[in-house]
Amino acid sequence: MWLTLDKQSPLSLNRQISSQIRTFILRGDLPAGHLLPSTRQLGKELDVARSTVLEAYDQLLAEGYLESRSGSGTRVAQGIRPQPRLTGGSAAMLPMAPLIEGCDPPELVNFQSGIPALEQFPAGEWGKLYRQCCESLPASALRYCSPAGVDELREAISGWLLRMRGLRADPGQIMITTGATQGLRLVARLLNRPKALALVEDPVHRGLVEVIARAGYEVKGIAADAQGMDADQLHNLSEDCASRCAFIYVTPSHQYPTGGILSAPRRQTLVNFAHARGCMLVEDDYDGEFRFEGTPVSAMRELAPEKVIYIGSFSKILAPALRIGFAVVPAALIPRWIEEKQFTDVHTDALTQRALASFISSGTLERHIWKMCKLYKRKRQYLLQCLRERFGGCFSASGQAAGLHMVAEFPEIKFTEAMLASMRAHGVRAVPVEHHSLCRDGTHAHQLILGYAHLSEQAMERGVDALHAALRS
């Protein structure tokens, strides 16, 4: 049994074991009647005390997930109905890593991806505009607003998308969400149907896959490489899978986590598949504003506005705490979208929407983006320099042309749990690409995701030094 334990986690080891076994059972990876390893055997495999495993088993026995009979060992209990599975090949799915991790020791360098340089948030300008909005608003503006969002913000985003991404979007088709995660959740709810299937890139952001699965979908992975999702694999889908596909989730401008850019032929293949099968394409442009090489990548929505739902947010641009996102929705879906949003949370914080509208209209957002592009480019170059100084030609980097992270590949190193524990012991933390793989076939076992936007040059240097020491040991 492949379990992943984090001895630095605030969650006890026996709780980690019981939680992961429970997830295996609920997803159907451990069927009813399956014999679990003995507590002694599993303790040796995980390098923990037998009593720790015994406590985990006892917890699952008490909850009814396991049953134990004298002479027949501990088995998965009968009568548990598996939840929708995440599939990406023949290998079993592993439990998802926690979305919110515990606090790291202050001396540990965490190359976590997706975190902007929060100390650069323009707090003064934001506070000034927010106060002006609050002081100038009539009392009527404090009522409930439209589930679609405040008109001023929808219009501001429309103009901003045209200037920054060359994307034409009618303000009436822009729906404001409480972050991109809610946007994807609404998409999944609207497009759901009996036995619905969603196709996603593999590897993929595991948290977003969980959002889709929790909406009742079966999720199947399609391999991604340097050119994004391998759309030719769509031709190899069974008729059953193709007919059940409700939507395809892609990150075409900067694939997460590999950093690939979806090529034009593959974009056309995806659009043709969507037309032929009556499904939708969900385009997540999570950090397309930050590009350091070449010209900005065009949005896939331009190829088929009626078949693509474009999702974006301001979490990477400004700060995750704002919880403001948006979706550009085909006209046919707008009435149902507004209704679904209405009964989800009525509307997103209207005061923050109005402040953000002023922030965009005043040009402050674009100035902030250009400033951050320069900063992130310098950080990217410094991290590459540190890696080259420590590892020479023993590594390669990819995905660093855009976004807030890059992928470093070390062909001679496999990032096992033991290796990750050694890294943490040396003072550095990073997530392997393989942890975001659905099939876990080892294709990405030599790759690390290195997020750098939130780190200082000194922290990056310390982190690379610690990584070098850990890999040498």
Q: Say if residue 161 is in the same domain as residue 248.
A: yes
Work out the number of other CB atoms within 10 angstroms of the CB of residue 148.
21
Task: Please tell me the pTM assigned to this model.
Answer: 0.79
Residue count of the chain, please give it.
Answer: 473
pLDDT of residue 423: 96
Q: Say if residue 163 is in the same domain as residue 267.
A: yes
For residue 205, give both structure tokens.
């952001």
pLDDT of residue 94: 39
In the listed set 331, 351, 366, which residue is the last one of a domain according to the structure?
Answer: 366
AA identity, residue 225: D
Q: Say if residue 241 is in the same domain as residue 291.
A: yes
Q: Say if residue 310 is in the same domain as residue 225.
A: yes
In the listed set 366, 399, 423, which residue is the last one of a domain according to the structure?
Answer: 366
Q: What is the rounded distance in angstroms from the CA atom of residue 316 to the CA atom of residue 289? A: 9
User: Is residue 9 a contact partner of residue 24, using CB atoms and an 8 Å limit?
Assistant: no
pLDDT < 70 positions in the chain: 1-2, 83-104, 294-296
User: Is residue 232 a contact partner of residue 273, using CB atoms and an 8 Å limit?
Assistant: no
Is residue 25 domain-resident? yes
Is residue 8 domain-resident? no
In the listed set 330, 348, 366, which residue is the last one of a domain according to the structure?
Answer: 366
3-state secondary structure at position 344:
helix
For residue 147, give both structure tokens.
């589930």
Q: What is the largest CA-CA distance in the chain?
A: 76
Q: Say if residue 303 is in the same domain as residue 245.
A: yes
CATH number of the domain enclosing 37: 1.10.10.10
For residue 402, give both structure tokens.
């855009």
pLDDT of residue 337: 98
Is residue 75 domain-resident? yes
Is residue 89 domain-resident? no
Q: What is the rounded distance in angstroms from the CA atom of residue 369 to the CA atom of residue 392? A: 32
Q: What is the rounded distance in angstroms from the CA atom of residue 251 to the CA atom of residue 117? A: 22
Q: Say if residue 159 is in the same domain as residue 171.
A: yes
Q: Say if residue 362 is in the same domain as residue 379.
A: no
Q: Give the structural domain span for 421.
A: 109-120+372-472
Count of the separate structural domains present in the chain? 3
Nearest to 278 by CA among 304, 299, 313, 310: 304
User: Is residue 146 a contact partner of residue 341, using CB atoms and an 8 Å limit?
Assistant: no
Torsion over CA of 12, 14, 20 and 23, rounded to 10 degrees? Answer: -110
CATH number of the domain enclosing 394: 3.90.1150.10
Q: Say if residue 115 is in the same domain as residue 244.
A: no
CATH number of the domain enclosing 277: 3.40.640.10
Query: What single DSSP character describes residue 246?
Result: E
Cis before 296 (ω within 30): no
Is residue 88 domain-resident? no
Q: Say if residue 405 is in the same domain as residue 322.
A: no
Is residue 292 domain-resident? yes
Q: Say if residue 194 is in the same domain as residue 263.
A: yes
Q: Say if residue 257 is in the same domain as residue 179.
A: yes
Is residue 222 domain-resident? yes
Q: What is the rounded distance in angstroms from the CA atom of residue 263 to the CA atom of residue 258? A: 14
> Tokens 């890059």 map to which residue?
406
H or E segment to which residue 328 belongs = strand 325-328
Is residue 102 domain-resident? no
Burial of 286 (0-12, 13-18, 19+ CB in 10 A): buried
Q: Say if residue 198 is in the same domain as residue 322.
A: yes
